[in-house]
Structure formats: structure tokens, C-alpha cells
Amino acid sequence: MVTLLFDGIAYGMLLFVLASGLSVTLGLMRFVNLAHGAFAMAGGYVMVVLMHRYGVPFLATLPLAFLATALLGAVLERTLYARLYGRSQLDQVLFSIGIVFMAIASADFVMGSEQQMVTVPPWLQGRIEIFGGSIGRYRAFVVGICIVIVVALQAILQGTRFGSRLRAAVDDPRVARGLGIKVPMIFAVTFATGSGLAGLGGALGGEILGLDPTFPLKFMIYFLIVVTVGGTSSLTGPFLAALILGIADVMGKYYLPALGSFIIYTLMIIALILRPQGLFARAR
């Protein structure tokens, strides 16, 4: 029970880190980016290549995965995404599906279609006995990192000048521009950070979620659930939604394997019917 709960929490935290970038682009900037998972996949592959081909130590690959995907995100944002802010939803959907298809085929072409094996260093293997259950060390490590990221994100958004500029830019880009805030710059940095976090999540989650070219499609609906069910007014909503989703998914698959992901999708639909703005949204 403790083990399952902890696995669920680790899974949920991971989902949050993966989806946090999306909660800003989709939730705040209103850009329907179905390709968010592609950045996560990129991060995962960066880690795999660095570790297995160049022998970079595991811990060092994590920041590198973040930087590489953040850079990729920044380049794509400046060249492609920035042109699509404010375009119709259909355009954004088509565009990002296109990106997903290209990402899947490219990953297949470069890395092959097989599942990538991720081996974590020995000090992260094995389990710890605690509270009458056993907890995977790697999962404990993931939870630790995720907590740090969540706290840091919250601090940046709420406490720094950049955070208040971002919130201003999102609330009313015109007025924000009038006040001398460089809105495109803010959006670019935000998008890049979100992509980087997705990449970091992909790298961290390689061992738990698995990594193969269909990753962006397989987890697309999970990211979207976190953001839409969580609501978009703060980071707390998506965070709680991710935790619930993670725990419900792990528990559901353990106790009712015959139902598969059925429970998750049904719960999502019900949640969206009852609270279209998200479970934890404040009325705006």
C-alpha cells in the first residue's frame, strides 16, 4: 500500500514536471501545443545518447537534457511557434500535430523504433524499507528533485520580477507592452524553460515511463489532463491534478487491471463536465 502510494506520488510528480511547461503555454498563453511531449522525448533521448554513447555520468546528463531541450524550444519558438500565437485553435492543433508526427518519425529514423533501456547508477538502484513498505530509491530521488523544481517554480512565478512580468504579459499583452515589458522576449524565455522542464522530465522519467518514438502521442493525453483538469490560474491546480492522476493511475492499474486507462479517461471527462474551468480554478 505504502509502496503503491509512493509509486503513484513519484509518477504524479514526474507528470507535473513534464506538464508544467504546458500549463503555462496552454493554460496561460492559450496556445494549444499538442507537441509538448516531443520535447520530453527529446530530453529522454539526449540523456540516453550522452550516457550510453559518450559515458557522461547520470547526474550530469540531467542539466544537459534540460539545456538541450530548452535550446530546442527557444529556436522553435522564435522560428515557428511565435507566428501562431493568437491564431485559431484549429491552426494551432494542426500545426502541433504536424510537429508531433515529424518528431515521431525523426526519432524513429535516428534512434530506431525500439524501447530505449535506461540504466540508472548503482547507488540509485534497489529499495529502501520505510513505513512498512519498500520504496524504490530511484523513485525517492525523482520525488526529491521534483519537489525542488516545484518550489523553485512557485518562487520564480510569485516572487521575482520575471514572474510578475510574465503574469502581466499573459493577462494583457498590449498593456504589458505599453509598460515597457518585452512581451515576445518573456514568452520566448517561458516557452524555452517549459520545454527544458519537459526535457528534464523526459530524462528523469526514462526509467519509469519508458522511452520510444511514440512517447509524444502516448503521453499527450496525460499532459493535457494535468493542465485542463488542474485549471490554469496557478501552478497548484496542475500540481494537485498531476498527483491525483499519478496515484489513481498506479492504483487503478494495480487493483483493476482489466479496466486499464479507462478509469482515468472517464474521470477526466466527468471532471471537465462538472468543472469546465478545471477542478482547482478560481473564477476569473
Partner 1 sequence: MSALATRIAALHKAHGRWSLLEIGFWLLPIAAIWLFPTRHLTLSEIGILALFALSLDLILGFAGIVSLGHTAFFGLGAYVAGIATIHGLTDPTLGLLLGALAAALLGFITSFLVLRGSDLTRLMVTLGVASVLAEIANQASWLTGGADGLQGVSAGPVLGIFDFDLYGTTAYLYVLGVLFVLFVIARRIVTSPFGLSLRAIHGNALRARAIGIPVDRRLVAIYTLSAAYAGVAGALLTQTTDFVSLDVLDFHRSADVLLVLVIGGTGYLYGGLIGAVFFKAVQDVLSNLTPQYWHFWIGLILVLLVLVGRERLTEGPRGLVLWLMRRIGGAQEKPVEEAPR
Binding site residues, partner 1, CB under 8 A: 26, 32, 80, 83-84, 87, 89-91, 93-95, 97-106, 108-109, 113, 217, 220-221, 224-225, 228, 258-262, 265-266, 268-269, 272-273, 276
Report how far residue 209's alpha carbon sits from residue 181's, in angstroms, rounded to the nearest whole number: 39
CA angle 193, 196, 199 (to 5 degrees): 155
CA distance 35 to 31: 11
Place of cell 494551432: 92
Nearest-approach distance from CB 129 to partner 1, in angstroms: 35
Nearest distance from residue 113's CB to partner 1, in Å?
8
224/215 Cα distance (integer angstroms): 14
Nearer to partner 1, 110 or 130 (CB): 110
* Residue closer to partner 1, measured from CB, 52 or 83: 83
Cell 518585452 belongs to 182
CB of 82 to partner 1, least distance (A): 11
Name the residue nearer to partner 1 (CB basis): 93 or 130. 93
Nearer to partner 1, 9 or 271 (CB): 271
Which lies closer to partner 1 via its Cβ, residue 111 or residue 140? Answer: 111
- Per-residue cell: 188: 520566448
The b/e string for 78-98 (b: 16+ C-beta within 10 A; e otherwise) is eeebeebbeeeeeebeebbee
- Residue 139 CA to chain centroid, in angstroms? 17
Q: How far is the CB of 191 from partner 1 (least distance, A)?
A: 17
How far apart (Å, rounded) are the C-alpha atoms in residues 169 and 29? 9
Nearest approach, Cβ of residue 96 and partner 1 (Å)? 9
